[in-house]
Amino acid sequence: MQTIKINFDTARQFEMSNIKPLSGIVGLYFIFTSKILIQYPFMKSRLLYIGMSEKKTNSIGSRLTGHFDGKSKNVGLQNYRKIEPLFFTYINFEMLKSFWNLRIEDLESYFILNFVEKFGVYPICNNKTGFEVLKTDLDIDIAIDWNYFD
């Protein structure tokens, strides 16, 4: 089985000037605090939310804009943002297509369920559960650098 290591890109402040350039990009995005460590059952993390954009018309830029302006109605993200600056990073799905042959929805589920495995619960601001993609026979193992959010 092939192992693919996922390292996250540079953190960007959760501001419109950093969100707008992501218009048209499809992939996963991760929103996290600047300093607050969330006590999850197994360990702490600054990660609040794992999200995805499945098509260019609903790109990472438009999804992040919805979280930024409150249209996504994610009260947790809105309230964390009131008390400290948030950051985000993302993974462009185009970069992963060479080894991930399932849908992007399955990739998001893989990340969410891998987070649950490592931290004990879903990210605090995610309000949906991941599908059971980890029970699928995958021919790869994705090693995710969750320490990025320490």
Say whether 112 sits in a helix, a strand or coil: helix
Gap between the Cα atoms of 31 and 60, Å rounded: 12
Distance in angstroms (rounded) separating the CA atoms of residues 9 and 13: 13
- Tell me: the pLDDT tens digits for 82-112? 999 999 999 999 988 888 888 999 899 899 9
Q: Which amino acid is at 121?
A: V
Count other Cβ atoms within 10 Å, centred on residue 37: 13
Integer-rounded Cα Rg, in Å, for the chain is 15
Whole-prediction pTM: 0.92
**Cβ 114 vs Cβ 144: under 8 Å:** yes
Separation between Cα atoms, residue 5 and residue 142, nearest integer Å: 6
- Integer Cα distance of 126 and 76 in angstroms: 9
* Distance (Å, whole) CA 109 – CA 16: 27
Determine the pLDDT at residue 130.
Answer: 53
Q: The tokens of 140 are what?
A: 């790869």
pLDDT at 132 (0 to 100): 57
pLDDT digits (tens, 9 = 90+) for 22-67: 999 999 999 999 999 999 999 999 999 999 999 999 999 999 999 9
Residue 121 pLDDT: 93
